[in-house]
Amino acid sequence: MTNAKPIQLRGQPIAAGKLPLVCLPLVAGTEDALLAEAKQVLAKKPDVIEWRADFFEQVGKVDAVLACARHLRQMTGVTPMLFTCRSASQGGQPIELSSPQVAALCEAVCAARSIELIDFEMDNALEDVQRVVASARGTEVTVVLSHHDFDATPRFDELARRFRMAQDLGADVAKLAVMPSSLDDVLALLNATFHASRLLAIPVVGMAMGQVGSVSRLIGWMFGSAMTFAVGSRSSAPGQIAVDDLNAAIASLRRACGG
């Protein structure tokens, strides 16, 4: 039914190769609130937990980030954690760190081995991308190189180029999120995701955001997208679906399509 390649961790597919993986974000601003949020989110049994560190009030203090990551790690147990410090230009919270500082933070988080996956935007300076990729390689962290377009959905060729670019930069996972203005754009995103899932050697994650795009979060796996992001506690991007509704919809699609 699906062409999606499973996302791996140290050579092993996460959640025994389940497709799609369901990732739930943590978006609280303080460590206490994050630990409370993690408890709530873990009850939803996500395959991956994403810590959106750009929401963390102390994101500018490396020690505070590392301590929080360690404490989250103690709570998440076997559930892999994805560390993401999204830039404001790609939908993140405004923070004071420069791109090289975010890269340095990512390096430090990899080195501390409190996380299993790391997201870094492929638009960053090449040397920053290379630093993060090298750091992740050396610490067996899975690297997601991502791009988010909150304004529009690029044409097929540009979407394909972006997926390819992530692989060429050394990603373990290529992730694209776009904003559709109509269902045509949603079909274009699915089309590009499907093509990339066949052409590339690495797993891909593709989604169309917003209300118009929300169907892509449910059916993207059929078109090769290895992971989908849903709401456990609070949403981290427009169009995310409550995880219970998402799980129910995917299960019934799977039953209906025999996939």
Binders of its own copies among 222-241, rule CB under 8 A?
222-223, 241
Q: Kindly report the CA angle at 124 between 97 and 174, in degrees rounded to 5?
A: 120
Residue 92 contacts residue 86 (beta carbons within 8 Å) = yes
Which one of 38, 204, 218, 226 is in contact with its own copies (CB under 8 A)?
A: 218
The CB density around residue 76, as the number of other CB atoms within 10 Å, is 22
Annotation says 148 is catalytic: yes
Q: Is 255 in the site for its own copies (CB under 8 A)?
A: yes
Residue 189 contacts residue 161 (beta carbons within 8 Å) = no
Per DSSP, what are the bridge partners of residue 228?
A: 22
Q: Give the nearest distance from C-beta 17 to its own copies in angstroms.
A: 20
Q: Give the nearest distance from C-beta 142 to its own copies in angstroms.
A: 26
63: burial class by Cβ within 10 Å (0-12, 13-18, 19+)? exposed
Interaction mask 42-61, its own copies, x per CB under 8 A: --------------------
Stretch that binds its own copies, among 24-32, 59-67, 105-113, 217-225 (CB under 8 A): 217-225
Residue 228 contacts residue 235 (beta carbons within 8 Å) = no
Q: Give the nearest distance from C-beta 44 to its own copies in angstroms.
A: 15
Per DSSP, what are the bridge partners of residue 52?
A: 84
Cis status of the peptide bond prior to 100, with omega within 30 of 0: no
Annotation says 175 is catalytic: yes
Which one of 215, 234, 235, 238 is in contact with its own copies (CB under 8 A)?
A: 215
Q: Is 181 in the site for its own copies (CB under 8 A)?
A: no
Given the residues 5, 44, 148, 195, the one annotated as active site: 148
Q: Is 209 in the site for its own copies (CB under 8 A)?
A: no
**How many residues lie near its own copies (CB under 8 A)?**
27
Which one of 84, 93, 167, 214 is in contact with its own copies (CB under 8 A)?
A: 214
Q: Give the nearest distance from C-beta 5 to its own copies in angstroms.
A: 15
Six token digits for residue 217 = 């979060």
Exposure string (b/e) for 37-54, b if CB count within 10 Å is 16 or more?
bbeebbebebbbbbbbbb
Q: Is 190 in the site for its own copies (CB under 8 A)?
A: yes
- DSSP of 111-149: HHT--SEEEEETTS-HHHHHHHHHHHHHTTPEEEEEEEE
Nearer to its own copies, 77 or 258 (CB): 258
Q: Which residues of the shown chain bind its own copies in the complex (CB under 8 A)?
A: 3, 183-184, 187, 190-191, 194, 211, 214-215, 218-219, 222-223, 241-242, 245-246, 248-249, 251-253, 255-258
Catalytic residues: 148, 175
